[in-house]
Structure 1
Amino acid sequence: MVLAPAGLMLFLGAWGIRRQDAIWRDEAVTYDMAHRSLSDLGLTLLHVDVVHGLYYALMHVWFVVYDATLGGTLGAVIGLRLPSVVAMTAAAAGIALLGERLVGRRAGLFAGLAFTLIPVVQQYAQEGRSYATICAAVVWATYLLVLAAARPRRQLWWGYTALMLFACLLHEFAALALPAHGAAVILARLPRRVLRAWSLSAVTVLAGLAPLAVFSTRQSAQISWLMWPDPLQLLTFAVLAVLGFGCARVPISSRGPIGMRAIGIPLLLLPTLLLLLLSHVEPAYVDRYVLYYVAGFALVAGAALARLLRPAGELGQTRGRLLRRVLALSLALAALLPVDVHLRSPDSRVDDATAVAQAVREVSEPGDGLLFMPSRRRIWMATRPHDFRGLDDLALFRSPVASHTLYGTELSGDEIRDRMLASRRIVVAGDPSGQPVDDNDQEIAKRATLRGEFVVCGSREVRGARITVYARAGGAGGGCRDGADAVRQPPAARR
């Protein structure tokens, strides 16, 4: 019951984990922060990304061990993602145990398998971010809640409180699982002593989270890029919500004081709906912030599948009806295969820092100037700084580590312009066409100087980025090679 879902999740997590060594920008941030000293990390968190501080500290400890043992053999990419694979494997095991505790062994088996096959679960099982770990912590906290509801014991409540606090300190939006747990306790009509114990645990978690939550409000500008929720993410939630409601209509007999519907439906719906409501005040919705909602779907889906796929002859089940249901399930799984394959390609993420670094290395010459547009794209060099060696970062004032920031600090617009005019050639690593542009003094100076004083030698697009080589207009000797394009796009790019 447990080994099958856990083994499948481990296999799916390992399948294509390298993703052709592509690393997207958020993973590059994790890699950079985890490789800073703990003192530098602490000083950085005072200015930015404090909500991920505990995760960065844990990854720092992990990389100290990993780099000294397996890093030379397996590589940095696997080290970055392996903790998430292990966390999702633990989450799948927890889902199976929850299903068994709430309904029965077959429900636990199907719930664990359903969880592993959800595409968004596989996506975050292969990302060097905290969301898989948060999901695992919430799942196991839910399991302890179910145990404590059946046999209230102080140790179970302590464990529940500790796991929920750990999840919330990894990311404060894990606290949105608390209302789902509270709804389960109320819907199950548990004794007042259980409600009081859960309330005390919830208050303790919120009290422990409060300092982080208050301090993080100073850094709320970090999510200023968020607008209305991504339609694709909302569609994923809507599909799972509708399917979850359909599964909940299948007659299910629960074994404990908390029923499957009482815990599954609130966990599926409440965290996302509450985050959407919060987004009306200040945009904050991204599906990964409440990734654990998929656990609610897996639980009700597993219970429904356990009943619908009963052995032929059991409770009047006919062999023909069973075969039709198995065929329908097989077709649904086959439809997911292209999605699973896509998730393991570099094109599945918004950009590819590895491809950017390689493209810059291919088109640049020693002594060329380098610009990142906007400056936050400097994170592209975090995992492969050797590909940028010999280039002069024209806008950089203080490096990310020295300035205790994610992307470093830049010179004033006038100083950037002067340094650009002293360069014969400049390689620009920037966003692809059609993206909104920043309107600060530095970015305006970069765009105006390139437009007025330089000509384009050539350009190439990689995943989520455009690499362009500029040369001084009318400069002595010219900056473009052979007086022509300095960058020739490969056939695939031209197509």
Structure 2
Amino acid sequence: MPAAGRAWTLGALAALFSFAFAWVPSFWADEVATVRASRLTPAELLPFTTRYVDAGHTVYYVALHYWSGIFGFGEAGTRGFSALGVGVAVALTALIGQRLGRPRLALFAAVLLAFMPRLTWAGAEARSYAWTAALAATAWLLLLIALDSGGWWWAALGAAIALSVSTFLLTSTLVVAQLLFVLLRRDTDESDRPNRGIRSSRRAWIPLLVTWFVALAAASPILTLAWQERAQIAWIGPNSAFNAWTVLVEPAGETSWGYAFAVWILIIAGAVRWRAALRAACPEWLLLAGCWVIVPFAITIGISLLGSPVFTSRYLTFAMPGLALALAAALAALSARRLVAAVTIALLVIALPTYVGQRLAYAKPRESDLREVAQTVAAHSQPGDAILFAPGRPREALYAYPQYFDGLVDVALKTPFPASDAFHDKTVPLAKRTAKLAGIRSLILVIPRHGTPCTQPRDAKTLLENGFAPASRYPTHREVVCRFERAG
């Protein structure tokens, strides 16, 4: 099989591996935003994102809208799109390594990326992170081709850059990473790099800067809107953003400190032998991997320390293919084949529990049980019943799984999404909407915190005052579904 064929076969297997059981966990808050936005048509979505929130995710939402129009807006459909992104990232990582002259090592890097906890997490998350890795890999591969062949490959690189930045703002850090790579790379002999379009790094940075300028100009409307909406990431605090866990463990290991520890040990051990074992054979490999990883980390940490906090580990998913290349280089530096095999197997074994944990029923943040809540409501309600949510997370079940609430009267709703100017609906306390209870015989109240009495929330007291009484109580993993019926 040709080298490119092996790369894409490996990418397909990685996508299947990432997709396996990704549909098991319930949606959580961030994914709920994805589902709500992607359900909108582009004509409905663009006014919302350009005026209020998430302009930087518009491209992803539009792409997912058409994908989910075919495969559905459930967990399997939306996360399947992310699994596809993982597969593309893995295949392109292999192609990058092949372009650098080490085809076997390239496949090694791709396998390491496919099993990396951060990537298996991204493949089971209905957000754009997997595709940021794929688009970043596209940009690096096109850069290598443009350096060799020139011509219209620079235009292709510019298109990839514009799409990448429009999909996720922080991929703009690749501007500095790629420029640094071009300036520091050593020119190779013509025999090493046939058909070279640009043979001097001193000349290559000129078309690269032109390419980036045009690409950023094309993406400038989204960049401007994303900057204007930067308050939406105000939840990233400097105290929670920087600690040993978020900087040293989460970027690659996700929740696995064992995997992150093994990665650091491998890199340190490999660094001792890199100069003689790898750089002589492929001088560009480590430079590319280093620029891909170090520059985005340094810039985001620097911005967070000196300006507004923007660092959070999952935002740097797009740098993980570069880390996989560095890990493969570290393995290559270990000359003993048995040792290489043992270390590789150890990494995969250490990553496996995290992979399984990412696909358990309550694997998402706060042990989200929104699907269980929605199914419980559907099982214990009838068309014409009212639905009411106590303040907090419970209402997200309606956003994520609207099909389970068909026929129910949303008595507290004031302004629905997207007219609410946010990803949530605007509601009012039941005490101000008691007229909505006229003719209602049964009402479902969903409250947070497993174990909370049905009569404790403020809205429950309003129900008691209007002739309702608690009839049934159905606990879920995190919430409680209460059924009230009108007395008499």
Please give the TM-score of this superposition, normalised by the length of structure 1. 0.78
1:77 is aligned to 2:94? no
Matches within 5 A, 1:10-29: 10-19=15-24, 22-29=26-33
Q: How many angstroms does 1:167 deviate by? A: 0.7
1:357 is aligned to 2:379? no
Q: 1:452 & 1:230 partners in 2: Cα distance? A: 45
Q: How many angstroms does 1:141 deviate by? A: 0.8
Q: 1:452 & 1:244 partners in 2: Cα distance? A: 61
Which residue does the alignment assign to 1:117? 115
Which residue does the alignment assign to 1:9? 14
Q: 1:277 & 1:429 partners in 2: Cα distance? A: 43
Distance 1:207 1:432, change over 3 A: farther
1:184 is aligned to 2:181? yes
Cα deviation digits, residues 29-85 of structure 1 (max 9, x gap): 323322222221122222222111111112222233x15xxx5xxx84332122222
1:460 is aligned to 2:475? yes
What is the letter of the counterpart of residue 373 of structure 1?
P
Distance 1:307 1:47, change over 3 A: same
What is the letter of the counterpart of residue 288 of structure 1?
R
Distance 1:194 1:324, change over 3 A: closer
Whether contact under 8 Å (1:88, 1:125) holds in the other structure is yes
Q: 1:307 & 1:4 partners in 2: Cα distance? A: 26
Identity of aligned residues (%): 22
Distance 1:431 1:215, change over 3 A: farther
What is the letter of the counterpart of residue 316 of structure 2?
V
Gaps of 5+ in 2: 1-5, 187-199, 253-259
1:303 is aligned to 2:329? yes
1:48 is aligned to 2:53? yes
Cα deviation digits, residues 437-470 of structure 1 (max 9, x gap): xxxxxxxxx96555787698746243xx423538
1:194 is aligned to 2:219? no
Aligned-CA RMSD value? 3.3
Matches within 5 A, 1:324-339: 324-339=339-354
Which residue does the alignment assign to 1:484? none
Q: How many angstroms does 1:405 deviate by? A: 4.0
1:58 is aligned to 2:63? yes
Q: 2:440 & 2:353 partners in 1: Cα distance? A: 47
Cα deviation digits, residues 420-452 of structure 1 (max 9, x gap): 899887644455489xxxxxxxxxxx9655578
Distance 1:204 1:254, change over 3 A: farther
Which residue does the alignment assign to 2:146? 148
Which residue does the alignment assign to 1:370? 388
Whether contact under 8 Å (1:102, 1:255) holds in the other structure is no
Whether contact under 8 Å (1:157, 1:201) holds in the other structure is yes
Which residue does the alignment assign to 1:313? none
Which residue does the alignment assign to 1:485? none
What is the letter of the counterpart of residue 148 of structure 1?
A
Q: How many angstroms does 1:383 deviate by? A: 3.9
The structure 2 residue matched to 1:126, chosen from 124, 143, 148, is 124
Q: 2:67 & 2:170 partners in 1: Cα distance? A: 24
The structure 2 residue matched to 1:173, chosen from 167, 170, 175, is 170
Which residue does the alignment assign to 2:315? 289
Distance 1:107 1:379, change over 3 A: same
Cα deviation digits, residues 398-427 of structure 1 (max 9, x gap): 221454642222347963588689988764
Please give the TM-score of this superposition, normalised by the length of structure 2. 0.79
Distance 1:429 1:471, change over 3 A: closer
SS state at 2:279 partner:
coil
Q: 2:309 & 2:440 partners in 1: Cα distance? A: 41
Whether contact under 8 Å (1:16, 1:344) holds in the other structure is yes
Matches within 5 A, 1:445-484: 448-450=458-460, 458=473, 460-462=475-477, 465-469=478-482, 476=487
SS state at 2:241 partner:
coil
Moved more, 363-372 or 260-269: 363-372
Q: 2:294 & 2:288 partners in 1: Cα distance? A: 10
Q: 1:422 & 1:245 partners in 2: Cα distance? A: 71
What is the letter of the counterpart of residue 197 of structure 1?
P
SS state at 1:469 partner:
strand
SS state at 1:275 partner:
helix
Q: How many angstroms does 1:12 deviate by? A: 0.7
Distance 1:255 1:24, change over 3 A: same
What is the letter of the counterpart of residue 229 of structure 1?
A
Whether contact under 8 Å (2:16, 2:83) holds in the other structure is no
1:398 is aligned to 2:415? yes
Q: How many angstroms does 1:297 deviate by? A: 1.0
Moved more, 41-50 or 273-282: 273-282
Which residue does the alignment assign to 1:438? none
Q: How many angstroms does 1:160 deviate by? A: 1.3
Q: 1:285 & 1:421 partners in 2: Cα distance? A: 50
Cα deviation digits, residues 204-255 of structure 1 (max 9, x gap): 2332333222222332332233332286443233835664454444231366
Q: 1:89 & 1:44 partners in 2: Cα distance? A: 31
Moved more, 220-229 or 236-245: 236-245
Whether contact under 8 Å (1:188, 1:262) holds in the other structure is yes
Whether contact under 8 Å (1:131, 1:288) holds in the other structure is yes
Distance 1:164 1:255, change over 3 A: farther
Whether contact under 8 Å (1:360, 1:467) holds in the other structure is no
1:229 is aligned to 2:229? no
Cα deviation digits, residues 283-325 of structure 1 (max 9, x gap): 32232222111111111112232343xxxxxxxx6xxx43344
What is the letter of the counterpart of residue 120 of structure 2?
Q
Which residue does the alignment assign to 1:409? 426
Distance 1:420 1:184, change over 3 A: farther
Q: How many angstroms does 1:260 deviate by? A: 1.4
Q: How many angstroms does 1:152 deviate by? A: 4.9
Distance 1:11 1:470, change over 3 A: closer
Distance 1:293 1:420, change over 3 A: farther
Q: 2:241 & 2:440 partners in 1: Cα distance? A: 42
Q: How many angstroms does 1:140 deviate by? A: 1.4
SS state at 1:382 partner:
helix
